Structure 1
Amino acid sequence: MESVSRARCFGGTQHVFRHRSAETGTEMRFAAFVPPQAGAGRLPVVWFLSGLTCTEENFTMKAGAQRVAAELGLLLLVPDTSPRGEGVPDDPDGAYDFGLGAGFYLDATQAPWARNYRMESYLLHELPAQVAAELPADLTRQAIMGHSMGGHGAITLALKTPGRFASVSAFAPISAPMRCPWGEKALGGYLGPDRSAWRRYDSCALIEDGARLPELLVDQGMADTFLESQLKPDLLRAACADAGIPLTLRLQEGYDHSYFFIASFIEDHLRWHAGRLGRAA
Protein backbone atom coordinates (compact mmCIF):
# COMPACT_ATOMS: atom_id res chain seq x y z
CA MET A 1 0.00 0.00 0.00
CA GLU A 2 1.64 3.23 -1.19
CA SER A 3 0.93 6.70 0.13
CA VAL A 4 -0.24 9.16 -2.55
CA SER A 5 -0.82 12.09 -0.18
CA ARG A 6 -1.34 12.98 3.45
CA ALA A 7 -2.47 16.15 5.18
CA ARG A 8 -3.08 17.16 8.78
CA CYS A 9 -6.80 17.70 9.37
CA PHE A 10 -8.68 18.43 12.63
CA GLY A 11 -5.88 16.82 14.62
CA GLY A 12 -5.94 13.66 12.52
CA THR A 13 -4.56 12.81 9.09
CA GLN A 14 -6.29 12.66 5.73
CA HIS A 15 -4.58 10.03 3.56
CA VAL A 16 -4.91 8.84 -0.01
CA PHE A 17 -3.40 5.42 -0.74
CA ARG A 18 -2.98 3.25 -3.81
CA HIS A 19 -2.35 -0.45 -4.13
CA ARG A 20 -2.41 -3.20 -6.72
CA SER A 21 -5.67 -5.14 -6.59
CA ALA A 22 -5.82 -8.84 -7.38
CA GLU A 23 -9.61 -8.65 -7.65
CA THR A 24 -9.78 -5.89 -10.26
CA GLY A 25 -6.41 -6.51 -11.89
CA THR A 26 -5.67 -2.79 -11.64
CA GLU A 27 -4.15 -0.20 -9.37
CA MET A 28 -6.82 1.08 -6.97
CA ARG A 29 -6.94 4.22 -4.82
CA PHE A 30 -8.84 4.95 -1.63
CA ALA A 31 -8.98 7.74 0.92
CA ALA A 32 -8.68 7.23 4.68
CA PHE A 33 -9.19 9.82 7.40
CA VAL A 34 -7.45 8.67 10.57
CA PRO A 35 -8.71 10.69 13.57
CA PRO A 36 -6.50 11.84 16.47
CA GLN A 37 -7.66 8.98 18.72
CA ALA A 38 -5.61 6.53 16.62
CA GLY A 39 -2.79 6.57 19.16
CA ALA A 40 -5.04 4.91 21.75
CA GLY A 41 -5.80 1.77 19.69
CA ARG A 42 -7.94 0.48 16.84
CA LEU A 43 -10.92 2.56 15.81
CA PRO A 44 -14.44 1.92 14.51
CA VAL A 45 -14.72 2.22 10.73
CA VAL A 46 -17.27 4.06 8.59
CA TRP A 47 -17.20 3.29 4.86
CA PHE A 48 -18.55 5.81 2.36
CA LEU A 49 -19.42 4.61 -1.16
CA SER A 50 -19.64 7.37 -3.75
CA GLY A 51 -21.93 7.83 -6.73
CA LEU A 52 -21.67 7.87 -10.50
CA THR A 53 -18.60 9.59 -12.00
CA CYS A 54 -16.95 10.01 -8.57
CA THR A 55 -13.56 8.93 -7.26
CA GLU A 56 -12.36 8.77 -3.66
CA GLU A 57 -11.77 12.53 -3.90
CA ASN A 58 -15.35 13.84 -4.08
CA PHE A 59 -16.47 12.88 -0.59
CA THR A 60 -13.06 13.61 0.90
CA MET A 61 -12.94 17.17 -0.46
CA LYS A 62 -16.63 18.20 -0.44
CA ALA A 63 -18.57 16.48 2.36
CA GLY A 64 -16.91 18.17 5.35
CA ALA A 65 -16.92 14.91 7.31
CA GLN A 66 -13.49 15.08 8.95
CA ARG A 67 -14.37 17.52 11.73
CA VAL A 68 -17.12 15.30 13.13
CA ALA A 69 -15.16 12.08 12.53
CA ALA A 70 -12.27 13.58 14.49
CA GLU A 71 -14.57 14.42 17.41
CA LEU A 72 -16.19 10.97 17.39
CA GLY A 73 -13.05 8.92 16.77
CA LEU A 74 -14.24 7.39 13.50
CA LEU A 75 -11.91 6.11 10.79
CA LEU A 76 -13.44 7.11 7.43
CA LEU A 77 -12.71 4.94 4.38
CA VAL A 78 -13.65 6.06 0.88
CA PRO A 79 -12.89 3.71 -2.03
CA ASP A 80 -13.03 4.52 -5.73
CA THR A 81 -16.20 3.69 -7.67
CA SER A 82 -14.69 1.41 -10.33
CA PRO A 83 -11.45 -0.06 -11.64
CA ARG A 84 -9.44 2.27 -13.84
CA GLY A 85 -6.36 2.19 -16.02
CA GLU A 86 -5.04 1.07 -19.35
CA GLY A 87 -7.01 -1.81 -20.79
CA VAL A 88 -10.01 -1.42 -18.48
CA PRO A 89 -13.14 -1.36 -20.68
CA ASP A 90 -15.40 1.69 -20.65
CA ASP A 91 -18.82 2.50 -22.06
CA PRO A 92 -18.36 2.36 -25.85
CA ASP A 93 -20.40 5.55 -26.25
CA GLY A 94 -18.55 7.39 -23.48
CA ALA A 95 -21.65 7.63 -21.28
CA TYR A 96 -21.22 8.55 -17.61
CA ASP A 97 -23.55 5.88 -16.23
CA PHE A 98 -21.66 2.74 -17.24
CA GLY A 99 -18.02 1.67 -17.21
CA LEU A 100 -15.38 3.87 -15.61
CA GLY A 101 -16.74 5.62 -12.52
CA ALA A 102 -19.86 3.43 -12.58
CA GLY A 103 -18.93 0.06 -11.12
CA PHE A 104 -22.26 -0.31 -9.24
CA TYR A 105 -20.50 -2.23 -6.45
CA LEU A 106 -21.06 -5.61 -8.10
CA ASP A 107 -19.03 -8.48 -9.56
CA ALA A 108 -19.62 -8.49 -13.32
CA THR A 109 -20.16 -11.80 -15.09
CA GLN A 110 -20.26 -10.66 -18.73
CA ALA A 111 -17.37 -10.04 -21.12
CA PRO A 112 -15.48 -7.75 -21.31
CA TRP A 113 -16.42 -6.47 -17.85
CA ALA A 114 -15.93 -9.62 -15.77
CA ARG A 115 -12.13 -9.41 -15.62
CA ASN A 116 -11.90 -6.01 -13.92
CA TYR A 117 -15.32 -5.03 -12.59
CA ARG A 118 -15.24 -6.94 -9.30
CA MET A 119 -16.07 -4.16 -6.88
CA GLU A 120 -18.18 -6.30 -4.55
CA SER A 121 -15.36 -8.77 -3.87
CA TYR A 122 -12.84 -5.94 -3.70
CA LEU A 123 -14.85 -4.10 -1.03
CA LEU A 124 -15.95 -7.08 1.03
CA HIS A 125 -12.67 -9.00 1.04
CA GLU A 126 -9.55 -7.49 -0.47
CA LEU A 127 -9.67 -3.87 0.65
CA PRO A 128 -10.66 -4.60 4.28
CA ALA A 129 -7.69 -6.97 4.55
CA GLN A 130 -5.38 -4.25 3.24
CA VAL A 131 -6.85 -1.72 5.65
CA ALA A 132 -6.60 -4.02 8.67
CA ALA A 133 -2.94 -4.70 7.91
CA GLU A 134 -1.92 -1.06 7.48
CA LEU A 135 -4.31 1.16 9.45
CA PRO A 136 -5.69 1.22 13.04
CA ALA A 137 -9.08 -0.17 11.95
CA ASP A 138 -11.29 -2.26 14.21
CA LEU A 139 -13.17 -4.40 11.68
CA THR A 140 -15.40 -5.80 14.43
CA ARG A 141 -17.02 -2.33 14.44
CA GLN A 142 -17.98 -1.25 10.93
CA ALA A 143 -20.70 0.97 9.50
CA ILE A 144 -21.44 1.76 5.87
CA MET A 145 -23.12 4.60 4.00
CA GLY A 146 -23.18 5.98 0.48
CA HIS A 147 -24.68 8.38 -2.04
CA SER A 148 -26.82 7.55 -5.09
CA MET A 149 -25.08 4.57 -6.76
CA GLY A 150 -23.08 4.34 -3.53
CA GLY A 151 -26.26 4.35 -1.46
CA HIS A 152 -27.38 1.37 -3.54
CA GLY A 153 -24.00 -0.24 -2.84
CA ALA A 154 -24.09 0.41 0.89
CA ILE A 155 -27.58 -1.01 1.36
CA THR A 156 -27.08 -4.08 -0.86
CA LEU A 157 -23.70 -4.99 0.64
CA ALA A 158 -25.15 -4.74 4.13
CA LEU A 159 -28.21 -6.81 3.21
CA LYS A 160 -25.96 -9.57 1.83
CA THR A 161 -23.61 -9.68 4.84
CA PRO A 162 -25.84 -9.75 7.94
CA GLY A 163 -24.00 -8.82 11.11
CA ARG A 164 -21.02 -7.30 9.32
CA PHE A 165 -22.12 -3.67 9.63
CA ALA A 166 -23.49 -2.24 12.86
CA SER A 167 -25.41 0.41 10.91
CA VAL A 168 -26.32 1.45 7.37
CA SER A 169 -27.38 4.78 5.92
CA ALA A 170 -27.69 6.44 2.53
CA PHE A 171 -28.10 9.75 0.77
CA ALA A 172 -30.47 9.60 -2.21
CA PRO A 173 -29.84 5.90 -2.95
CA ILE A 174 -30.79 4.18 -6.19
CA SER A 175 -33.38 2.14 -4.32
CA ALA A 176 -34.56 -0.25 -7.02
CA PRO A 177 -31.98 -0.58 -9.84
CA MET A 178 -34.10 -3.19 -11.61
CA ARG A 179 -36.77 -0.53 -12.09
CA CYS A 180 -34.84 2.53 -13.27
CA PRO A 181 -32.80 3.41 -16.37
CA TRP A 182 -29.42 3.66 -14.59
CA GLY A 183 -29.87 0.27 -13.00
CA GLU A 184 -31.30 -1.52 -16.02
CA LYS A 185 -28.37 -0.39 -18.14
CA ALA A 186 -25.76 -1.32 -15.54
CA LEU A 187 -27.22 -4.63 -14.40
CA GLY A 188 -27.97 -5.73 -17.94
CA GLY A 189 -24.51 -4.80 -19.14
CA TYR A 190 -22.52 -6.28 -16.27
CA LEU A 191 -24.70 -9.31 -15.52
CA GLY A 192 -26.48 -10.15 -18.79
CA PRO A 193 -30.16 -10.34 -19.72
CA ASP A 194 -31.33 -12.81 -17.04
CA ARG A 195 -33.14 -10.51 -14.63
CA SER A 196 -33.15 -13.13 -11.89
CA ALA A 197 -29.38 -12.58 -11.61
CA TRP A 198 -30.01 -8.89 -10.99
CA ARG A 199 -31.96 -9.43 -7.78
CA ARG A 200 -28.91 -9.72 -5.52
CA TYR A 201 -27.91 -6.20 -6.56
CA ASP A 202 -31.28 -4.55 -5.95
CA SER A 203 -32.15 -3.39 -2.41
CA CYS A 204 -35.89 -3.86 -2.79
CA ALA A 205 -35.51 -7.28 -4.42
CA LEU A 206 -33.11 -8.45 -1.71
CA ILE A 207 -35.60 -7.42 0.96
CA GLU A 208 -38.42 -9.14 -0.93
CA ASP A 209 -36.26 -12.27 -1.04
CA GLY A 210 -35.74 -12.30 2.73
CA ALA A 211 -32.65 -10.19 3.44
CA ARG A 212 -32.94 -7.97 6.49
CA LEU A 213 -31.34 -5.00 8.26
CA PRO A 214 -31.82 -4.00 11.90
CA GLU A 215 -32.67 -0.45 10.75
CA LEU A 216 -31.91 2.03 7.98
CA LEU A 217 -31.47 5.81 7.75
CA VAL A 218 -32.04 7.54 4.38
CA ASP A 219 -32.00 11.23 3.49
CA GLN A 220 -33.56 12.28 0.17
CA GLY A 221 -33.63 15.78 -1.29
CA MET A 222 -37.04 16.71 -2.66
CA ALA A 223 -35.51 19.02 -5.32
CA ASP A 224 -33.41 16.13 -6.65
CA THR A 225 -33.90 15.97 -10.42
CA PHE A 226 -33.41 12.18 -10.32
CA LEU A 227 -36.00 11.56 -7.60
CA GLU A 228 -38.85 10.10 -9.66
CA SER A 229 -36.98 8.64 -12.62
CA GLN A 230 -33.97 6.97 -10.96
CA LEU A 231 -34.08 6.91 -7.14
CA LYS A 232 -37.66 5.87 -6.26
CA PRO A 233 -37.48 6.02 -2.44
CA ASP A 234 -41.17 5.07 -2.19
CA LEU A 235 -40.29 1.58 -3.43
CA LEU A 236 -37.71 1.23 -0.65
CA ARG A 237 -40.23 2.54 1.88
CA ALA A 238 -42.77 -0.06 0.77
CA ALA A 239 -40.25 -2.92 0.81
CA CYS A 240 -39.07 -2.02 4.31
CA ALA A 241 -42.65 -1.67 5.57
CA ASP A 242 -43.61 -5.07 4.19
CA ALA A 243 -40.52 -6.67 5.77
CA GLY A 244 -40.78 -4.89 9.11
CA ILE A 245 -37.42 -3.12 8.68
CA PRO A 246 -37.37 0.16 10.65
CA LEU A 247 -36.68 2.84 8.02
CA THR A 248 -36.12 6.50 8.85
CA LEU A 249 -36.71 8.21 5.49
CA ARG A 250 -36.16 11.96 5.80
CA LEU A 251 -37.48 13.96 2.85
CA GLN A 252 -35.51 17.20 2.77
CA GLU A 253 -37.34 20.08 1.08
CA GLY A 254 -35.31 22.17 -1.37
CA TYR A 255 -32.23 19.93 -1.44
CA ASP A 256 -30.87 18.47 -4.69
CA HIS A 257 -28.51 15.58 -5.55
CA SER A 258 -25.26 17.46 -4.98
CA TYR A 259 -22.59 17.41 -2.29
CA PHE A 260 -24.17 20.54 -0.81
CA PHE A 261 -26.98 18.16 0.22
CA ILE A 262 -24.53 15.60 1.63
CA ALA A 263 -22.54 18.27 3.50
CA SER A 264 -25.77 19.53 5.08
CA PHE A 265 -26.61 16.19 6.72
CA ILE A 266 -23.32 14.28 7.02
CA GLU A 267 -22.99 15.19 10.70
CA ASP A 268 -26.38 13.60 11.44
CA HIS A 269 -25.31 10.40 9.72
CA LEU A 270 -21.92 10.18 11.43
CA ARG A 271 -23.44 10.73 14.87
CA TRP A 272 -26.11 8.12 14.09
CA HIS A 273 -23.44 5.59 13.10
CA ALA A 274 -21.24 6.43 16.10
CA GLY A 275 -24.09 5.63 18.48
CA ARG A 276 -24.58 2.22 16.93
CA LEU A 277 -20.89 1.45 16.65
CA GLY A 278 -20.56 2.17 20.34
CA ARG A 279 -23.28 -0.35 21.11
CA ALA A 280 -21.48 -2.88 18.87
CA ALA A 281 -18.21 -2.53 20.77
Structure 2
Amino acid sequence: MESKPTETSSSKMFGGYNKRYKHYSPTLGCSMNFHIYFPPPPSPSHKLPVLYWLSGLTCTDENFIAKSGAQRVASSEGIALVTPDTSPRGLNVEGEADSWDFGVGAGFYLNATQEKWKNWRMYDYVVKELPKLLTENFPQLDPSRASIFGHSMGGHGALTIYLKNLDKYKSVSAFAPIVNPINCAWGQKAFTNYLGGNKADWEDYDATCLISKFTDVSATILIDQGEDDKFLHDQQLLPHKFEEACRKANVPLLLRLQPGYDHSYYFIATFIDDHILHHSQALKL
Protein backbone atom coordinates (compact mmCIF):
# COMPACT_ATOMS: atom_id res chain seq x y z
CA MET A 1 0.00 0.00 0.00
CA GLU A 2 1.50 3.29 -1.08
CA SER A 3 -0.47 6.50 -1.28
CA LYS A 4 0.30 9.61 -3.24
CA PRO A 5 0.96 12.65 -1.05
CA THR A 6 -2.04 14.90 -0.46
CA GLU A 7 -1.49 18.64 0.01
CA THR A 8 -2.97 19.77 3.34
CA SER A 9 -1.78 23.39 3.55
CA SER A 10 -0.05 26.06 1.48
CA SER A 11 1.38 29.48 2.40
CA LYS A 12 3.21 31.89 0.12
CA MET A 13 6.60 33.10 1.39
CA PHE A 14 9.40 35.00 -0.36
CA GLY A 15 7.79 34.35 -3.74
CA GLY A 16 7.61 30.59 -3.17
CA TYR A 17 5.32 28.31 -1.17
CA ASN A 18 5.47 26.32 2.05
CA LYS A 19 3.37 23.25 1.34
CA ARG A 20 2.48 20.47 3.76
CA TYR A 21 1.67 16.95 2.57
CA LYS A 22 0.25 13.82 4.14
CA HIS A 23 0.85 10.30 2.84
CA TYR A 24 0.82 6.69 3.95
CA SER A 25 4.36 5.38 4.53
CA PRO A 26 4.86 1.66 3.80
CA THR A 27 8.28 1.92 5.48
CA LEU A 28 6.85 3.10 8.79
CA GLY A 29 3.38 1.55 8.56
CA CYS A 30 1.53 4.77 9.33
CA SER A 31 0.42 8.08 7.92
CA MET A 32 3.15 10.76 7.81
CA ASN A 33 3.38 14.50 7.22
CA PHE A 34 6.21 16.38 5.54
CA HIS A 35 6.79 19.94 4.35
CA ILE A 36 8.34 21.24 1.15
CA TYR A 37 9.31 24.85 0.61
CA PHE A 38 9.23 25.44 -3.15
CA PRO A 39 11.20 28.56 -4.16
CA PRO A 40 10.01 30.39 -7.26
CA PRO A 41 11.54 28.40 -10.16
CA PRO A 42 13.82 30.42 -12.51
CA SER A 43 11.99 28.87 -15.50
CA PRO A 44 9.13 26.37 -15.99
CA SER A 45 11.48 23.59 -17.11
CA HIS A 46 14.09 24.19 -14.38
CA LYS A 47 14.38 21.42 -11.80
CA LEU A 48 15.16 22.47 -8.22
CA PRO A 49 17.86 20.85 -6.09
CA VAL A 50 16.67 19.45 -2.76
CA LEU A 51 17.96 20.23 0.74
CA TYR A 52 16.63 17.90 3.45
CA TRP A 53 16.27 19.20 7.01
CA LEU A 54 16.09 16.72 9.90
CA SER A 55 14.65 18.13 13.13
CA GLY A 56 15.50 17.32 16.74
CA LEU A 57 13.82 15.66 19.70
CA THR A 58 10.11 16.52 20.26
CA CYS A 59 9.87 18.33 16.89
CA THR A 60 7.51 17.63 13.99
CA ASP A 61 7.78 18.59 10.32
CA GLU A 62 6.50 22.08 11.27
CA ASN A 63 9.12 23.58 13.64
CA PHE A 64 11.78 24.32 11.05
CA ILE A 65 9.30 25.72 8.52
CA ALA A 66 7.78 28.10 11.09
CA LYS A 67 10.86 29.16 13.08
CA SER A 68 14.10 28.95 11.07
CA GLY A 69 13.65 31.72 8.50
CA ALA A 70 15.44 29.47 6.00
CA GLN A 71 13.04 30.32 3.18
CA ARG A 72 14.52 33.76 2.42
CA VAL A 73 17.87 32.42 1.23
CA ALA A 74 16.38 29.18 -0.13
CA SER A 75 14.21 31.40 -2.34
CA SER A 76 17.09 33.53 -3.63
CA GLU A 77 19.33 30.46 -4.13
CA GLY A 78 16.61 28.39 -5.84
CA ILE A 79 16.73 25.46 -3.42
CA ALA A 80 13.73 23.36 -2.32
CA LEU A 81 13.63 22.55 1.41
CA VAL A 82 12.18 19.18 2.41
CA THR A 83 11.34 18.60 6.08
CA PRO A 84 10.09 15.18 7.24
CA ASP A 85 8.70 14.36 10.68
CA THR A 86 10.98 12.94 13.39
CA SER A 87 9.30 9.56 14.00
CA PRO A 88 6.30 7.38 13.17
CA ARG A 89 3.08 8.55 14.83
CA GLY A 90 -0.25 6.99 15.73
CA LEU A 91 0.96 3.40 16.01
CA ASN A 92 0.02 3.25 19.72
CA VAL A 93 2.98 1.10 20.70
CA GLU A 94 3.00 0.69 24.47
CA GLY A 95 5.34 3.25 26.03
CA GLU A 96 5.90 5.20 22.80
CA ALA A 97 4.98 8.54 24.42
CA ASP A 98 6.25 7.93 27.96
CA SER A 99 9.34 10.12 27.62
CA TRP A 100 10.26 13.10 25.45
CA ASP A 101 13.64 11.70 24.38
CA PHE A 102 12.47 8.29 23.13
CA GLY A 103 9.64 6.94 20.95
CA VAL A 104 7.28 9.49 19.41
CA GLY A 105 9.20 12.56 18.22
CA ALA A 106 12.48 10.72 18.81
CA GLY A 107 13.14 8.34 15.93
CA PHE A 108 16.92 8.99 15.87
CA TYR A 109 16.98 8.40 12.07
CA LEU A 110 17.89 4.73 12.43
CA ASN A 111 16.32 1.38 11.52
CA ALA A 112 15.27 -0.30 14.77
CA THR A 113 16.08 -3.99 15.05
CA GLN A 114 14.05 -4.76 18.19
CA GLU A 115 10.63 -6.28 17.45
CA LYS A 116 8.63 -3.86 19.61
CA TRP A 117 10.00 -0.85 17.73
CA LYS A 118 10.09 -2.46 14.26
CA ASN A 119 8.19 0.47 12.69
CA TRP A 120 10.87 2.94 13.75
CA ARG A 121 12.71 2.95 10.43
CA MET A 122 13.39 6.63 9.92
CA TYR A 123 16.72 5.89 8.22
CA ASP A 124 15.00 4.03 5.36
CA TYR A 125 12.20 6.60 5.29
CA VAL A 126 14.61 9.52 4.78
CA VAL A 127 17.18 7.77 2.56
CA LYS A 128 14.93 5.60 0.40
CA GLU A 129 11.19 6.25 0.63
CA LEU A 130 11.15 10.05 0.64
CA PRO A 131 13.48 10.60 -2.35
CA LYS A 132 11.47 8.04 -4.35
CA LEU A 133 8.23 9.77 -3.37
CA LEU A 134 9.64 13.15 -4.45
CA THR A 135 10.88 11.77 -7.77
CA GLU A 136 7.53 10.18 -8.58
CA ASN A 137 5.25 13.03 -7.49
CA PHE A 138 7.10 16.33 -7.87
CA PRO A 139 8.54 16.75 -11.39
CA GLN A 140 9.81 20.25 -10.50
CA LEU A 141 12.32 18.71 -8.05
CA ASP A 142 15.63 17.00 -8.82
CA PRO A 143 16.28 14.63 -5.87
CA SER A 144 19.46 13.42 -7.59
CA ARG A 145 20.96 16.79 -6.59
CA ALA A 146 20.50 16.69 -2.83
CA SER A 147 22.16 17.80 0.41
CA ILE A 148 21.19 17.24 4.04
CA PHE A 149 21.37 19.12 7.36
CA GLY A 150 19.71 19.07 10.76
CA HIS A 151 19.62 20.05 14.43
CA SER A 152 20.52 18.06 17.56
CA MET A 153 19.05 14.54 17.01
CA GLY A 154 18.52 15.66 13.40
CA GLY A 155 22.15 16.76 13.18
CA HIS A 156 23.07 13.24 14.24
CA GLY A 157 20.76 11.93 11.52
CA ALA A 158 22.14 14.23 8.84
CA LEU A 159 25.78 13.36 9.60
CA THR A 160 25.27 9.59 9.77
CA ILE A 161 23.04 9.48 6.68
CA TYR A 162 25.52 11.61 4.72
CA LEU A 163 28.54 9.55 5.73
CA LYS A 164 26.83 6.29 4.73
CA ASN A 165 25.50 7.69 1.44
CA LEU A 166 28.23 9.90 -0.01
CA ASP A 167 26.90 9.09 -3.49
CA LYS A 168 23.45 10.52 -2.65
CA TYR A 169 24.24 13.86 -0.97
CA LYS A 170 26.52 16.68 -2.11
CA SER A 171 27.10 18.21 1.34
CA VAL A 172 26.15 18.10 5.02
CA SER A 173 25.90 20.55 7.92
CA ALA A 174 24.45 20.55 11.42
CA PHE A 175 23.45 22.71 14.36
CA ALA A 176 24.41 21.33 17.79
CA PRO A 177 24.39 17.71 16.58
CA ILE A 178 24.54 14.63 18.82
CA VAL A 179 27.79 13.46 17.23
CA ASN A 180 28.81 10.63 19.57
CA PRO A 181 25.54 9.06 20.76
CA ILE A 182 27.13 5.83 22.02
CA ASN A 183 28.79 7.98 24.71
CA CYS A 184 25.85 10.15 25.81
CA ALA A 185 22.66 9.47 27.79
CA TRP A 186 20.26 10.29 24.92
CA GLY A 187 22.01 7.93 22.54
CA GLN A 188 22.47 5.12 25.05
CA LYS A 189 18.76 5.17 25.94
CA ALA A 190 17.62 5.23 22.31
CA PHE A 191 20.12 2.70 21.01
CA THR A 192 19.50 0.19 23.83
CA ASN A 193 15.77 0.22 23.08
CA TYR A 194 15.89 0.43 19.28
CA LEU A 195 18.99 -1.65 18.53
CA GLY A 196 19.45 -3.93 21.54
CA GLY A 197 22.41 -4.50 23.81
CA ASN A 198 25.16 -5.23 21.27
CA LYS A 199 27.15 -2.00 21.25
CA ALA A 200 28.91 -2.93 17.99
CA ASP A 201 25.54 -2.36 16.29
CA TRP A 202 25.33 1.13 17.78
CA GLU A 203 28.50 2.28 16.01
CA ASP A 204 26.69 2.11 12.67
CA TYR A 205 24.66 5.16 13.77
CA ASP A 206 27.41 7.17 15.45
CA ALA A 207 29.05 9.91 13.35
CA THR A 208 32.26 9.87 15.42
CA CYS A 209 32.65 6.11 14.85
CA LEU A 210 31.65 6.32 11.19
CA ILE A 211 34.07 9.10 10.22
CA SER A 212 37.07 6.75 10.40
CA LYS A 213 35.40 4.45 7.83
CA PHE A 214 34.50 7.14 5.31
CA THR A 215 37.68 9.08 4.77
CA ASP A 216 36.83 9.91 1.16
CA VAL A 217 34.69 12.86 2.34
CA SER A 218 35.78 15.79 0.17
CA ALA A 219 33.17 18.46 0.96
CA THR A 220 33.77 20.38 4.19
CA ILE A 221 31.39 19.42 7.01
CA LEU A 222 29.95 22.55 8.66
CA ILE A 223 28.85 22.46 12.31
CA ASP A 224 27.63 25.37 14.44
CA GLN A 225 27.51 24.87 18.20
CA GLY A 226 26.26 27.42 20.74
CA GLU A 227 28.65 27.80 23.66
CA ASP A 228 25.77 28.43 26.10
CA ASP A 229 23.92 25.29 25.02
CA LYS A 230 22.69 23.44 28.13
CA PHE A 231 23.06 20.10 26.36
CA LEU A 232 26.69 20.84 25.45
CA HIS A 233 27.45 21.26 29.16
CA ASP A 234 25.40 18.14 30.00
CA GLN A 235 27.74 16.09 27.76
CA GLN A 236 25.00 15.10 25.30
CA LEU A 237 26.58 16.61 22.16
CA LEU A 238 30.37 16.01 22.44
CA PRO A 239 31.48 18.02 19.37
CA HIS A 240 35.16 17.77 20.28
CA LYS A 241 35.03 13.97 20.02
CA PHE A 242 33.85 14.38 16.42
CA GLU A 243 36.44 17.09 15.77
CA GLU A 244 39.20 14.78 16.98
CA ALA A 245 37.90 11.90 14.80
CA CYS A 246 37.79 14.18 11.73
CA ARG A 247 41.34 15.35 12.38
CA LYS A 248 42.59 11.76 12.65
CA ALA A 249 40.75 10.73 9.47
CA ASN A 250 41.83 13.90 7.64
CA VAL A 251 38.19 14.83 6.94
CA PRO A 252 37.57 18.57 6.40
CA LEU A 253 35.46 20.00 9.26
CA LEU A 254 34.50 23.58 10.06
CA LEU A 255 33.32 23.53 13.70
CA ARG A 256 32.21 27.00 14.80
CA LEU A 257 31.63 27.59 18.50
CA GLN A 258 29.19 30.50 18.82
CA PRO A 259 29.54 32.46 22.12
CA GLY A 260 26.30 33.12 24.01
CA TYR A 261 24.02 30.98 21.85
CA ASP A 262 21.84 28.16 23.22
CA HIS A 263 20.14 25.09 21.68
CA SER A 264 17.05 26.89 20.36
CA TYR A 265 15.66 28.03 17.02
CA TYR A 266 16.91 31.55 17.86
CA PHE A 267 20.39 30.08 17.43
CA ILE A 268 19.40 28.22 14.25
CA ALA A 269 17.76 31.30 12.69
CA THR A 270 20.90 33.35 13.36
CA PHE A 271 23.20 31.13 11.30
CA ILE A 272 20.79 29.44 8.89
CA ASP A 273 21.83 31.62 5.95
CA ASP A 274 25.44 30.40 6.20
CA HIS A 275 24.25 26.80 6.09
CA ILE A 276 21.99 27.29 3.06
CA LEU A 277 24.81 29.04 1.20
CA HIS A 278 27.19 26.21 2.19
CA HIS A 279 24.81 23.72 0.56
CA SER A 280 23.99 25.96 -2.40
CA GLN A 281 27.66 26.05 -3.35
CA ALA A 282 27.86 22.22 -3.27
CA LEU A 283 24.56 21.73 -5.11
CA LYS A 284 25.60 24.02 -7.94
CA LEU A 285 28.99 22.41 -8.58
* TM surpasses 0.5: yes
Greater than 4 Å deviation, 4+ residue runs: none
Provide the residue aligned with 2:262 in structure 1: 256
Provide the residue aligned with 2:136 in structure 1: 133
Please give the root-mean-square deviation of Cα atoms over the aligned residues, in Å.
1.2
Shift of 1:244: 0.3
Which amino acid in 1 is paired with 2:145?
R
Provide the residue aligned with 1:62 in structure 2: 67
Tell me if the contact between 1:160 and 1:211 (Cα under 8 Å) persists in the aligned partners: no
Match of 1:241 among 226, 243, 247: 247
- Counterpart CA distance in 1 for 2:69 and 2:93 is 32
Residue 31 of structure 1 pairs with residue 35 of structure 2: yes
Shift of 1:216: 0.2
Which amino acid in 1 is paired with 2:65?
T
Partner SS state of residue 125, structure 1: helix
Match of 2:277 among 246, 271, 281: 271
Shift of 1:211: 5.4
Alignment of 1:113-152 (within 5 A): 113-114=117-118, 116-135=119-138, 136-152=140-156
Alignment of 1:52-91 (within 5 A): 52-91=57-96
- Sort the Cα spacing of 1:96 and 1:212 in 2 relative to 1 into closer, same or farther, 3 A: farther
- Counterpart CA distance in 1 for 2:226 and 2:67 is 17
Deviations along 1:12-46, whole A, 9 cap, x unmatched? 11100010000000001100000101634211110
Alignment of 1:159-238 (within 5 A): 159-210=163-214, 212-214=216-218, 215-228=220-233, 229-238=235-244
Q: Which runs of 5+ in 2 are unaligned?
A: none
Match of 2:158 among 154, 164, 174: 154
Which amino acid in 1 is paired with 2:177?
P
- Sort the Cα spacing of 1:196 and 1:76 in 2 relative to 1 into closer, same or farther, 3 A: same
Residue 11 of structure 1 pairs with residue 12 of structure 2: no
- Sort the Cα spacing of 1:211 and 1:82 in 2 relative to 1 into closer, same or farther, 3 A: farther
Provide the residue aligned with 2:109 in structure 1: 105
Shift of 1:137: 1.4
Shift of 1:224: 0.1
- Counterpart CA distance in 2 for 1:171 and 1:42 is 28
Partner SS state of residue 56, structure 1: coil
Shift of 1:74: 0.3
- Counterpart CA distance in 1 for 2:110 and 2:184 is 17
Partner SS state of residue 145, structure 2: strand
- Counterpart CA distance in 1 for 2:45 and 2:14 is 17
- Sort the Cα spacing of 1:89 and 1:275 in 2 relative to 1 into closer, same or farther, 3 A: farther
Partner SS state of residue 36, structure 1: coil
Deviations along 1:152-177, whole A, 9 cap, x unmatched? 00000011112211110000000100
Tell me if the contact between 1:159 and 1:212 (Cα under 8 Å) persists in the aligned partners: no
Tell me if the contact between 2:150 and 2:173 (Cα under 8 Å) persists in the aligned partners: yes
Deviations along 1:169-221, whole A, 9 cap, x unmatched? 00000010000000000011100000000111000111134455222000000
Shift of 1:7: 1.1
With structure 2 as the length reference, what TM-score do the two structures score? 0.94
- % of aligned pairs identical? 48
Higher mean C-alpha deviation, range 204-213 or range 133-142: 204-213
Q: How many residues align?
A: 277
Partner SS state of residue 236, structure 2: helix
Tell me if the contact between 2:160 and 2:205 (Cα under 8 Å) persists in the aligned partners: yes
Whose helix proportion is higher, 1 or 2? 1
Q: Which runs of 5+ in 1 are unaligned?
A: none
Provide the residue aligned with 1:46 in structure 2: 51
